[in-house]
Amino acid sequence: MDIDAARAIADTVLCAGPVLRPYRAAGHRDPGRWQFGMLMPADLAAADESLSAVAQTECLVEGGGPVRLRVLLRFLQVQRRSVYRWLPDLGRFKPVGSLDVDGVALVSCDEPVEHEQLVEVDDATLPAAGTRQTVRVSGGFARTELHDTRGRLVGQVVRHRRPLCAMLNVSAQPVPAPRPALRLRVWVENRTRAGADGDEVALTTALVATHLILSIEGGGFVSMVDPPGWAAEAVENCANVGLWPVLAGPPGRHDTLLATPRILRDHPADLLDHAADELLQLRNLAG
């Protein structure tokens, strides 16, 4: 199984952008930067039909014997980083967009925090009702004082992230086909509530760049991009909402699936080489 390889591909196509481009406080409420795989808080999505709190992937599994499935849910959380300047005359801190400490500029911005949740499902619990698991992320608050080379207090950095709650549901049903097959459904919902703060905390209570990595023993995933003839109709009847599944292992392997909000081709490992070339070009441009 190639979970690590699929993880690297997902990081390349979904997570590298936010990590490489720090988000200044002047625009941190613009959701455009976090545009892929955003599952918004349930109460905001219920009030605005343009938003979604749910994503779902369906795919086919071929195999007539017992199977063991691993589902890895991955997403980013937006953490607020605020920089403060120390005002010694007033004896207090003042929030600022940026602060220079011995020639190093520290900026107020949004930061991505990575989260993963693994669910293992055996053949006995896979059919029909399947299994559900609640995913909880605790909130966090951290304060770091900033001192210059002479030891003087010049400011502080405060990082704050909100608690999140999501639900992951895995189920499967037999598919009428010439070969033994199951339609596998993985459904994830952001059940966090933004509450009265609404739009102000929308980004910090969203699941960002949400995606899934599936691996299987005792069976194989059917290509959703180029299915064999016997599975074409069943593939067409699969419902994918906000996620698109592709085979993620090397060509010829069918034991790992990657479902992302970006449409990829099967076996997209060469994206890693392209991303490395782009990063090298950016580094050269930056001098």
Flag whether 248 is in a domain: yes
Output the six-digit token pair for 26: 């002047």
- Is pLDDT of 276 > 60? no
- Give φ, ψ of 33 to 5 degrees: -70, -30
Flag whether 149 is in a domain: no
Supply the range of the domain harboring residue 236: 3-79+111-139+163-286
Strand-pairing partners, residue 121, are: 69
The SS3 of residue 175 is coil
Q: What is the pTM of this model?
A: 0.85
Q: Are 154 and 84 in contact (CB under 8 A)?
A: no
- Give the lowest-confidence range in 64-68, 154-158, 172-176: 64-68
Strand-pairing partners, residue 112, are: 78
Flag whether 105 is in a domain: no
Q: pLDDT digits over 38-59, tens only?
A: 999 999 999 999 999 999 999 9
Give the list of residues 6+ apart from residue 13 with CB closer than 8 angstroms, or none. 260, 262, 264, 268, 271, 275
Distance of CA 210 to the CA centre of its chain: 3
- Give the lowest-confidence range in 46-50, 104-108, 127-131: 127-131
DSSP state of 75: E
- In our burial notation (b when 16+ CB lie closer than 10 A, e otherwise), range 126-149 reads beeebbeeebebeeeeeeeebeee
The SS3 of residue 41 is coil
> Are β-strands 131-137 and 164-174 bridged in parallel, bridged antiparallel, or unpaired?
antiparallel
The residue ranges of DSSP E strands in the chain, in sequence order, are 23-24, 54-62, 68-87, 92-96, 98-101, 104-107, 109-122, 131-137, 140-147, 153-161, 164-174, 181-190, 208-217, 220-221, 244-247, 256-260
pLDDT at 36: 73
Flag whether 88 is in a domain: no
Q: Domains in the chain: how many in total? A: 1
- Averaged pLDDT for residues 146-160: 96
**Higher pLDDT among residues 236 and 19, named by residue:** 236
Flag whether 268 is in a domain: yes
Q: pLDDT digits over 213-263, tens only?
A: 999 998 999 999 999 999 999 999 999 999 999 999 888 889 999 999 988
Flag whether 84 is in a domain: no
Q: Which residue do the tokens 């699936």 mark?
A: 257
The residue ranges of DSSP E strands in 138-194, in sequence order, are 140-147, 153-161, 164-174, 181-190
